[in-house]
Every structure is written in C-alpha cells, then in structure tokens.
Structure 1
Amino acid sequence: MKKLFLIIGAPGSGKTTDAELIAAKHNNITHYSTGDMFRAEVASGSERGYIIETYISAGNIVPIDIAIETIVGAIKRAPSDIVIIDGYPRSVEQMSELDKYLINESQVELVNVIEVEVSQNTAFQRVLGRAADSDVVRADDNEKVFLNRMKLFTEPLAQIKEFYTQKDLLKVISGEGTIQEIVSEMDSFIKSRV
C-alpha cells in the first residue's frame, strides 16, 4: 500500500522545494510533480503517453481522467512506499475526480493534504526575488502573471480546504518561516503519519 501526501500552496509558497528536500532526506519517500509524471508517461512510450503528448504538444490541458490515471499509475510504480506530490489538486474538479478514483483504489491511500500557507505579500516577494536572484528568468516571474496564478490558486482553495477538512485530511503549515523550519515541521508531520 502506497501512502500518498499531497502538498498544496500558492505560487512562491515553497511547496516544491519543501517536498524535494524531504524526499532527499529519506530513501523511503519519492517526490513527484504532475509535470514529472506526465513526462515520464510520455517517455515510457505507452499509449497513454502518446495521448498525453498530443495534448501537451498542442498546448492543451490533459483530460482529467487521463491525468488521474497517470498520477495513480506513477504512485503505484514509485520506488518507495511514501509518495509526495506537490501542486495537486489545483481545482475542485481535480480534487473530486482524484477522490472518486481513490475510493476504489486498494493500492494507494491518501494520508494527508498539507497546505503551505503564506501571505500573498510573502509569495509575491519570493517569486520576484527568484526572478532577481536568477540569470534564468521564468516566464511566470512577473507581477501580472503572478497575480493571475494567485487568483487561479485562491479561487477553489476554500472548497478544497473544506473538503479535506471534513475528511480529517488537511494539515496547514505556515510557510512564513525559514526553509529549514518549514521542512522540519513538514518532515516531522509526515513521519508521524506513517
């Protein structure tokens, strides 16, 4: 049985960095982003990978059922029993479909959803700081794009939090501290749940 942790948070919350650092500390934890899983499926040469490639190459969103099957398939094939996925779910539809899929899934258990909570100001400063500190400027590291990404994150957030709170699966961790403090708290929490 694979134990799944989902990490959600605003752009600039540090969720990907936190998940990467935790996975690096333990040989029994695997970290994925949804993009990683799609790329791995495409690289596998599978029929589903071919379908995903047709959507991605056209700049379209991968259909939700294919996305869920890909994610769950990657979790099942993970080299460890504990899997952390960051940045998922991003919408109420993604949350609902994943929940429906997991109800009938005997090999994967959703243990917790961890929200890395930061103020919009903190997230904004980090994203802009990331742009200033890097020779490689990401396309999403500007104010207009940041505000749009923040809107896309916050619009479904209340429903997502309420859904997982009712299932007693939501854990909120402050993302306002240092990386070390946040990773330490998240790491301790994950260890306490497995």
Structure 2
Amino acid sequence: MRIVLVGPPGAGKGTQAAFLAKNLSIPHISTGDLFRANISQGTELGKQAKAYMDAGNLVPDEVTIAMAKDRMEQEDAAGGFLLDGFPRNVSQAEALDEMLKDAGMKLDAVLDLEVEEDEVVKRIAGRRVCRNDSGHVFHVTYAAPKTEGVCDTCGGELYQRGDDSEATVRNRLEVYHTQTEPIIAYYQGQGLLVTIPALGEVADVTRRAMEALKK
C-alpha cells in the first residue's frame, strides 16, 4: 500500500506511522529522517538542505520533493510506503501525484489523524523534560512524575522546552492550518481521505486506522 499520513503537530503521527508501517510491512518515510540521512551522508541534496536550514530558512519544495523521490525509488519501497511529513502543502501533493503517475502508481489512502486543537496544546505544552543527559520525558497530565518537577529516574530537574510552550504550539498550529491543512481538501476531492479519531490509547488509534484501511 501507498499511504500518506497527515495531522496537526501533536496528533501522534510519528508513533502511528511506526506501528502502521510495521503492521503493513512497508517502510516509514519521514521528512525529518530524509533530511537527517541526506545531511549526515553529505549528499548533494543534503548539502542544499543544510545550507537553507543553517540560514534559518525553510527547505524549498524542490529539494524536499527530490529527496522524497529518491527515497521512494529505493528497493524496499517497491511494494509500498507510508509518507509522514510529506507532502506538507498542495504543491508537494501535486508533485507526488506526478511522480507516482510517471511510475505507473497511485496512492491508496490518505489517513488524517484528527485531534482537537485544545488537545494538541495540552499534549505538547504539558511535556516536561529532564535537564540531565538522560533526556527522560514526562507529562503533567498523562505521565506525571512522582514528585512535581523532579525526574523519577535520576532526580534531575524537569523543565518545559521552548518549543513546547503554548505560544509556540499555537504558532505551529497556525502554520499547519495555513500550509498543510489544504491538502486534506485536495485529497478529499480525490476520494482518498480517511479521517481517524486520534484520541485514546496508541493501540486503539492504530486499530482504527488498520480497520479503515481494510475497508
């Protein structure tokens, strides 16, 4: 199967992508992993991406699209793949359609992990990370430490990362609504969109997604 996974930050895309890819025996292709792999390997695309990132700029669509194309052409993706973080806008979605068409392929489904905005803010803004090298992560609601502000494992101080502040999360959501959310309507128009309620236990969300794909 060839699947695109979409949803706002905090919807659990990375977690669900890993489980779904394993259940379907297809590779999980993450934009973040693509960037890291190309940069660490020193590929030409990696050098281009790094230059933009080091300057604090977004990596242009053409570089992201080229990385995705290269990855999807690898042998392990011949029988299908799960895309996570790509496409991130309608232009990339159109480019993906062209790539697949040229290869005589098509998408089977687009899974939209649906989570209310307030829940997204609660999930991300509630994270607390240990300042020590252990990097253990807690959550004030879902995985609270035994003692507030103290890591259960090493006794280190727990803090909220700047990227997890409510203001930052709401800004990320605004970027998502502006840039990425339009692809939901794009794929809905193609009859590919499947909306999955993403509240509840991880296993329950995976089960809903697998049942939807079987249909």
State the match for 1:188 in structure 2: 211
1:37 aligns with 2:41: no
Deviations 1:147-173 (A, max 9, x none): 001111122455322211111111110
Aligned partners of 2:198 and 2:205 also within 8 Å: yes
State the match for 1:51 in structure 2: 48
* CA 138–109 in structure 1, closer or farther in 2 if over 3 Å, else same: farther
Deviations 1:20-56 (A, max 9, x none): 1223445x22112101012222333332232223222
Larger RCO: 1 or 2 (CA < 8 Å, sep 6+): 1
Query: 1:64 Cα deviation (Å)?
Result: 1.0
Query: 1:130 Cα deviation (Å)?
Result: 2.7
Q: Which has the larger radius of gyration?
A: 2
* CA 156–14 in structure 1, closer or farther in 2 if over 3 Å, else same: same
State the match for 1:168 in structure 2: 191
| More deviation, 181-190/28-37 | 181-190
TM-score by length of 1: 0.83
Hey, what's the Cα distance between the residues in 2 that align with 1:168 and 1:25?
24
| More deviation, 57-66/68-77 | 57-66
Query: 1:142 Cα deviation (Å)?
Result: 0.7
* CA 54–78 in structure 1, closer or farther in 2 if over 3 Å, else same: farther
Hey, what's the Cα distance between the residues in 1 that align with 2:182 and 2:53?
28
| More deviation, 82-91/97-106 | 97-106
Deviations 1:115-146 (A, max 9, x none): 00010111111112333716575442111110
Secondary structure of the residue aligned to 1:116 is strand
Hey, what's the Cα distance between the residues in 1 that align with 2:208 and 2:161?
29
Give 1:75's aligned amino acid: M
The structure with the greater share of residues assigned to helix is 1
Hey, what's the Cα distance between the residues in 1 that align with 2:159 and 2:29?
23
Hey, what's the Cα distance between the residues in 2 that align with 1:17 and 1:7?
11
* CA 43–150 in structure 1, closer or farther in 2 if over 3 Å, else same: same
Deviations 1:67-98 (A, max 9, x none): 11111211221625231122333223332333
Moved over 6 A (4+): none
Give runs of aligned pairs for residues 9-158 of structure 1, distance below 5 A: 9-25=7-23, 28-77=25-74, 79-80=76-77, 81-106=79-104, 108-131=105-128, 133=138, 135=158, 137-156=160-179
Hey, what's the Cα distance between the residues in 2 that align with 1:40 and 1:162?
31
Hey, what's the Cα distance between the residues in 2 that align with 1:157 and 1:63?
15
Aligned partners of 1:65 and 1:97 also within 8 Å: no
TM-score by length of 2: 0.76
State the match for 1:4 in structure 2: 2
Aligned residues: 188
Aligned partners of 1:30 and 1:78 also within 8 Å: no
Identity, % of aligned pairs?
29
RMSD between superposed Cα atoms in Å: 2.4
